[in-house]
């Protein structure tokens, strides 16, 4: 029972959804696995966008276009030719029940640093089709969180030239350290997250990549972590190094 909720609006267009969003104490409802689980008492109006947001998954010659309303289980079912993305999705939520409900758009909007798929997507930096209600395409890293995500467009080349590693106490447990690396034509993108204060990102030109630049990434990123039950900072430093090495090997 979530007793602060008084109303659910079901918009028939993005324009209407954005109008509803301007009402105070409103929140978007997609898959609902975060918002319903959290039951924030400040929220009184939910805007059910599941009827307007794209739910298709299309694979073209050079891209994967995922409707933001697609569940992350849909991604597992339909993207078997892209094992890394399937792996990232599976690890980001080990419960099939939740995967059947959780939408990719919601997972991105949550910006949860302990999510493998979010970390991996930040690394590959797909294009988001955002409705405000006008349509605009913007890279994930540049999205300010405003508007409604309708589609996620992933360049398949980035999937082939990327790798990610995770460290968790059990395969089914949330990772406390996640490393994602993408090699582009001229540079390497690194994203490091997990049970961290925030997500760490860095780009290094391929020509400048050296042991020293790697050391810099490790030293900078470990500052986002803490000594905790998962291990000391020294241990996490060694895991970041191992993670980067393993991820780079996959590229």
Residues that bind other proteins (CB under 8 A): 1-8, 29, 32-33, 36-38, 46, 48, 50, 73, 94-101, 172
Q: Under 8 Å CB-to-CB from 136, ≥6 apart: which residues?
A: 129, 130, 147
Q: Please say which residue, 116 or 129, places its beta carbon nearer to other proteins.
A: 116
Q: Please say which residue, 173 or 233, places its beta carbon nearer to other proteins.
A: 173
Q: Please say which residue, 103 or 162, places its beta carbon nearer to other proteins.
A: 103
CB of 100 to other proteins, least distance (A): 4
Which of 11-17's residues contact partners 24+ apart within 8 Å by CB, and which partners? 11/47, 11/48, 11/49, 11/51, 11/52, 12/51, 12/52, 13/52, 13/133, 14/52, 14/131, 14/132, 14/133, 14/148, 14/150, 15/133, 17/47, 17/49, 17/52, 17/131, 17/133, 17/148
CB of 10 to other proteins, least distance (A): 8
CB of 98 to other proteins, least distance (A): 5
CB of 117 to other proteins, least distance (A): 16
CB of 20 to other proteins, least distance (A): 13
Would you say 111 and 128 are in contact if contact means Cβ atoms under 8 Å apart? no
CB of 15 to other proteins, least distance (A): 21
Q: Please say which residue, 48 or 220, places its beta carbon nearer to other proteins.
A: 48
Tokens matching residue 152? 């996620």
Q: Please say which residue, 40 or 216, places its beta carbon nearer to other proteins.
A: 40
Q: Please say which residue, 30 or 147, places its beta carbon nearer to other proteins.
A: 30
CB of 84 to other proteins, least distance (A): 18
Q: Please say which residue, 38 or 226, places its beta carbon nearer to other proteins.
A: 38
């Amino acid at each position: 029972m979530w007793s602060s909720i008084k109303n659910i609006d079901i918009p028939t267009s993005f324009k209407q959804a954005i109008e509803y969003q301007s009402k105070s104490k409103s929140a978007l409802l997609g898959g609902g696995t975060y918002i319903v689980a959290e039951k924030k008492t400040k929220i009184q109006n939910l805007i059910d966008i599941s009827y307007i947001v794209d739910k298709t998954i299309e694979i073209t010659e050079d891209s994967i276009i995922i409707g933001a309303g697609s569940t992350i289980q849909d991604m597992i079912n339909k993207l078997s030719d892209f094992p890394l993305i399937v792996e990232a999705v599976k690890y980001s939520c080990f419960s099939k029940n939740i995967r059947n409900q959780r939408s990719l758009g919601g997972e991105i909007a949550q910006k949860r640093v302990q999510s493998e798929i979010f970390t991996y997507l930040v690394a590959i930096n797909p294009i988001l089709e955002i409705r405000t209600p006008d349509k605009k395409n913007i890279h994930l890293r540049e999205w300010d969180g405003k508007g409604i995500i309708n589609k996620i467009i992933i360049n398949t080349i980035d999937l082939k030239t990327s790798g990610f590693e995770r460290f968790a106490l059990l395969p089914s447990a949330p990772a406390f350290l996640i490393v994602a690396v993408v090699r582009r034509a001229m540079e390497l993108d690194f994203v490091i997250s997990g049970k961290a204060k925030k997500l760490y990102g860095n780009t290094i030109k391929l020509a400048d990549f050296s042991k020293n630049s790697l050391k810099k990434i490790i030293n900078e990123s470990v500052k986002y972590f803490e000594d905790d039950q998962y291990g000391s900072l020294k241990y996490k430093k060694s895991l970041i190094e191992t993670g980067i090495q393993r991820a780079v090997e996959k590229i």
